[in-house]
Amino acid sequence: WAIVENTTDRDWTDVRMSLVSGRPISFVMDLYQPLFVPRPVVQPELFASLAPQVYGQDLYGQDLADREAEFVVAGKTRGAARGRAMSEAPGAPAPASAPAEIALNMAKEPEADRWYFGRSVASVAAGESLGKLFRYEIAAPVSIARQRSAMLPIVAEEVEAERLAIYDEAVLAKHPLAGVRLVNTTRLDLMQGPVTIYAGGAYAGDARIEDLPAGSERLLTYAVDLDVEVATRAESRPEEIVTIRLVKGTLEIVRRLARTKTFELKNSAAEPETVLVEHSLEADWQLVEPKEPTEKTRERYRFAVVAEPGKPATLTVAEERRVSQQSVIASLDDDAILFFASARATSPAVAAALKEVVEAKQGIRAIETDRIRREEEIRVVDEEQNRIRQNMQQLDRQSDLYARYVRKFAEQEDRVEELRADITRLKDKEQAARQALDERLASLRLD
């Protein structure tokens, strides 16, 4: 339907009318009024009904030609009600809030083994594409009195639909929403707007759709499905090292993070029901189980689950994420290197090379310890000599104690010269060992 209002002061009598829909970029801006910074309006918390949900299209789904045969076969295997939806016939009363209406007929046609919703009537508008816009030519002349409005039927054709439920924990945690998969099998583009759903001739709820080009499909939800209850359980596993590589002194480690989300569904109705479970799609996480989703949008995975009456149904979604880490081996302590050497993902060649690195680093530390010990001995000798010098200043140079201090001072000087020679030798040895280790690490490239 289209709501047309005659805002002029003249009556329209038998006017030929064309309606154009699309999304041209256009706007109105007030350049006269001064600008003020508005204060935010804080509303008290109210418990209202759920807002209508809008669902993105399946980016990897089949074309319309392939889906027509699928509707017949899937009705037998998935146990879901299939059918057609149609708008109310021209002239039927319609709520002012919903320009589009869908009637769902619950009577099953045995000869076709399919569900049909409504009856077929002729389209009352002809469509024509105008580049990025779409024009509806109203077939019959239109008469609208001045300052009055009218609802004009645009499409009154049968279109295919599939009854199902859609569960999104972020929308409602306990129950899925009753919905319809609507396929635009007409030759007209359908503009976005509200939709009123009728089931078995009675009002079932309201929904909202985005722009629906000819041949495409969308999901609609119009009520809470109280027959199906869903419980979720999230689990995460400890991270696991997947691969370890040794490249030019750098340890390249790939870790795997894993998580699972389990959906448990209980159907209390008398008939099987197909539930589309929506799960967030995050770019860093890869889907492991199931191998492929039933549908995939820009932000969601969708998995189809058939809930049998009175029987629990379980869906487990497993995902993993791989994180790369680079560490310079020289900056790691021995415990960390030995931990990576003993990891299950480490190859024998990498493990042997890491153990060699630990042994080389331990050898360097032994040399460094010897050098530090000698440097500490020199420091102790210096302190002792300072004490001796202070004492010698108070003594007679002809005394035996003064002579003994002189002999001790000479012995200490001989020891200091020996220690300094050892320190120079150990420094050279330590530098050569470090250089050999660096060259060894730079030449390593092991997986």
pLDDT digits (tens, 9 = 90+) for 51-72: 777 777 666 665 554 544 444 3
Tokens representing residue 57 in the block: 């299209």
Predicted confidence at residue 242, as pLDDT, reads 81
Q: What is the pLDDT of residue 86?
A: 37
Query: Partners of 263 in the beta sheet?
Result: 232, 315
Alpha carbon of 319 to those of 171, 385, 425: distances in Å?
22, 71, 58
Q: Identify the pLDDT of residue 166.
A: 92
pLDDT at 108: 36
The pLDDT profile of the chain, 447 residues, written as one tens digit per residue, is 888 999 999 999 999 988 877 766 778 888 888 888 888 887 765 545 667 777 776 666 655 545 444 443 344 343 333 333 333 333 333 333 445 655 554 333 333 333 333 333 344 566 655 556 777 888 888 999 999 999 888 888 888 888 899 999 988 889 999 999 999 888 888 888 888 888 888 898 988 888 888 888 888 899 999 999 999 999 988 888 888 888 887 888 888 899 999 999 999 988 899 999 999 998 889 899 999 999 888 888 999 999 999 888 999 999 998 888 888 887 788 888 888 788 887 888 888 888 888 888 888 888 888 889 888 888 888 888 888 888 888 888 888 888 888 888 888 888 888 888 888 888 888 888 888 887 787 777 777
Count of C-beta atoms within a 10 Å radius of residue 303: 20
CA distances from 90 to 93, 124, 198 (A): 9, 8, 16
Contact 332, 320 (CB under 8 A): no
Q: Chain-centre distance of CA 381, in angstroms? A: 68
pLDDT given at position 61: 61
CA distance 61 to 58: 5
Name the token pair of 138.
């109203």
Best CA proximity match to 327, nearest among 337, 318, 342, 314: 337
Query: Which pLDDT belongs to residue 60?
Result: 62
Whether the Cβ atoms of residue 176 and residue 165 lie closer than 8 Å to each other? yes
Question: What is the sign of the dihedral through the CA atoms of 346, 348, 354 and 355?
Answer: positive
pLDDT recorded at residue 391: 80
Q: What is the C-alpha separation between 3 and 5, in angstroms, rounded?
A: 7
| Strand pairing report for 159-167 and 273-280 | parallel
The pairing of beta strand 100-104 with beta strand 193-199: parallel
Q: Which two tokens stand for residue 95?
A: 């709520």
CA separation (Å) from 170 to 55, 231, 278, 279?
A: 13, 13, 9, 9
pTM of the model as a whole: 0.61
Distances (CA, A) of 24 to 3, 31, 126, 130, 210: 20, 22, 21, 12, 16
